Amino acid sequence: MSSETDPSAKKPRNLIDGSTLFVLALVLAGAALVYRRDGWPGVTAILVEDSWLFLDILPKVLAGCLIGAFVAAVLPREFVSRWIGGDSGLTGLVIATAIGAIMPGGPFTIYPLAGALLAVGAGVGPAVAFVTSWTLIGLNRAIIWEAPFLGVDFVTTRMLVSLPLPIVAGLLAHWLARLVPGGPR
Amino acid sequence: MSATLIVSLSLWVITIVLALVTWRQGRDVLREASRSGVLDFLYLIPRLAIGVIGAGFLAALLPQDVVRSWLGPESGFTGMLLATVAGAVTPGGPVIGFAIGASALKSGASYLAVMTYVTAWALFAFQRLIVWELPVMPTRVVWLRVVASLPLPILTALGVMLLTGRG
């Protein structure tokens, strides 16, 4: 693979696209139904609460996007593809799983970083292992959000059992990427 | 100091350290990378506004009783499949899947079903996929991830059975 930016790795940018409109339609339908059930107080209560949530995550989203951009700018493509590239094998999956487990933040850091790594030479398998690792064994998510609801016993059991799963998902995605044409491996 | 504050702080520490590393490669590199990061951010804002503010409406409409009833005490393979589907239709956001899982446990759902449900929600929550994942990841990789993750909720349930002897 050449050292230039792979055009297929960068998302095409349309301000409005199909999936955004789809979510918008779902949300408007939801808001209409909430209005019918609870009236304006119900609608505004949800609106106010979630607007705060939105404002609260905005700075973290900015940090996540900057982290992704800096990582993409700093890490040499050869370095990325050697360690977590499409041919990095089990080593790459283990490295990606480890980073995913300790990376702080939420979806606002994980997905931009995964996208940036893919753009500078990461393989599909390690990228999937990274996202899955954050999803299933990410420490900060488990401690902050899960344990208060489900208890430490539940969370530790779930995380112990999940330890090998990012590798499983990464391996499956790696094989699938070879079967499905049309993009990075 | 609250845990979320620690997360925010560590995020910005990482950002600043990376900015310094980038700056050492040259002012232009830093400027170009910052520009690209800020553009990504601007691109995400309208999507997040719709998705995050709208998630509350979807959550309010989610028939929580129905979802809970899918996590009934009956387990077995069908029970796990139902729990997987229930997880995928539960909206994203940091807590709703955990909250429903916790209340299902209290109202008598099986431990295994809730494990399966929470895992499926974490992996597949449909709205999180569209709002967060698709805008910044190559579409092909997103769907490869989803397909590759299909067996994971069931594998989790099997693992818990082996580890704890519950079944």
A21 pLDDT tier (thresholds 50, 70, 90): confident
Tell me how far apart the alpha carbons of residues B126 and B148 are, in angstroms, rounded to a whole number. 16
Average pLDDT over residues B76-86: 86
Average pLDDT over residues A29-34: 90
Length of chain B: 167
Residue in chain A closest to B162 (alpha carbons) equals: A161
Structure confidence at residue B122 (pLDDT): 93
A19 contacts chain B (CB < 8 A): yes
How far does the CA of residue B77 sit from the closest CA of chain A (Å)? 18
DSSP label at A66? Answer: H
**pLDDT of A133 strictly over 90:** yes
**pLDDT of B3 strictly over 80:** no
A22 pLDDT tier (thresholds 50, 70, 90): confident
B1 contacts chain A (CB < 8 A): no
Which residue type, as a one-letter code, is found at position A118?
A: L
A100 pLDDT tier (thresholds 50, 70, 90): very high
Average pLDDT over residues A124-131: 97
Q: A143-152: string of b/e by CB count within 10 Å (b at 16+)?
A: ebbbbebbee
B119 pLDDT tier (thresholds 50, 70, 90): very high
Average pLDDT over residues A3-30: 66
Average pLDDT over residues A37-66: 90
Tell me how far apart the alpha carbons of residues A114 and A132 are, in angstroms, rounded to a whole number. 11
Residues on chain A touching B151 (C-beta within 8 angstroms): 168, 172
Burial class (CB in 10 A: 0-12, 13-18, 19+), B26: exposed
Average pLDDT over residues B93-118: 86
- Which range, of A40-49, B101-110, B116-125, averages the lowest pLDDT? B101-110
Average pLDDT over residues A27-44: 90
Average pLDDT over residues A29-58: 90
Q: What is the pTM of this model?
A: 0.87
Average pLDDT over residues A33-47: 91
**pLDDT of B19 strictly over 50:** yes
The more confidently predicted of residues B62 and B104 is: B104
Average pLDDT over residues B124-153: 91
Q: What is the ipTM of this complex?
A: 0.88
In 3D space, the residue among A65, A181, A62, A57 whose CA is nearest the CA of residue A114 turns out to be A65
Structure confidence at residue B103 (pLDDT): 86
Give the largest CA-CA distance in chain A.
58
A27:B57 CB<8 A: yes
**Token pair recorded at residue B154:** 């069931």
> How high does pLDDT run on average in chain A?
86
Structure confidence at residue A83 (pLDDT): 93
Q: Looking at chain B from residue 84 to 123, which residues have their Cβ under 8 Å from any Cβ of chain A?
A: 92, 94-95, 98-99, 101-102, 105, 111, 114-115, 118-119, 122-123
Structure confidence at residue A9 (pLDDT): 42
Length of chain A: 185
**B126 close to B88: Cβ distance less than 8 angstroms:** yes
